[in-house]
Amino acid sequence: MIERRFHRKIYSAAAVDGAVKTYARFAVVEVIDEENHRVVRITGKKPERERRIADELANYALGLTRQTAGGADAAR
């Protein structure tokens, strides 16, 4: 299992949810809400691919956040 932490001031909830939805077919994905972060736990269906799936999911979430009006630029 690999964790990725998405700070609420940087990543929109919709972006994290969109990334999770996109990559859920490749892994078991669990989302945990914490005070300042959304934590995504990724357990790959093929364990040797977990890190790549986690990295791609994080990159996708960042891209979706940048596309939204309330994305990273608005947090500054």
Nearest in space to 29 (alpha carbons), one of 45, 10, 14: 45
Q: Which residues of 42-59 are buried (b: 16+ CB within 10 A; e: fewer)?
A: bebeeeeebeebbebbbe
The more confidently predicted of residues 9 and 72 is 9
Q: In this predicted structure, what is the pLDDT of residue 45?
A: 85
- Our measurement of the distance from residue 54's CA atom to the centroid of its chain's CA atoms, rounded to an integer in Å, reads 8
Q: Would the pLDDT of 1 be above 50?
A: yes
Q: What global pTM score does this model have?
A: 0.84
The string of pLDDT tens digits covering residues 13-58 is: 999 999 999 999 999 999 999 999 999 999 988 889 999 999 999 9
Q: In this predicted structure, what is the pLDDT of residue 72?
A: 45
Q: In this predicted structure, what is the pLDDT of residue 74?
A: 47
Domain 2-66 adopts which CATH fold? Alpha-Beta Plaits (3.30.70)
Domain layout of the chain by residue ranges: 2-66
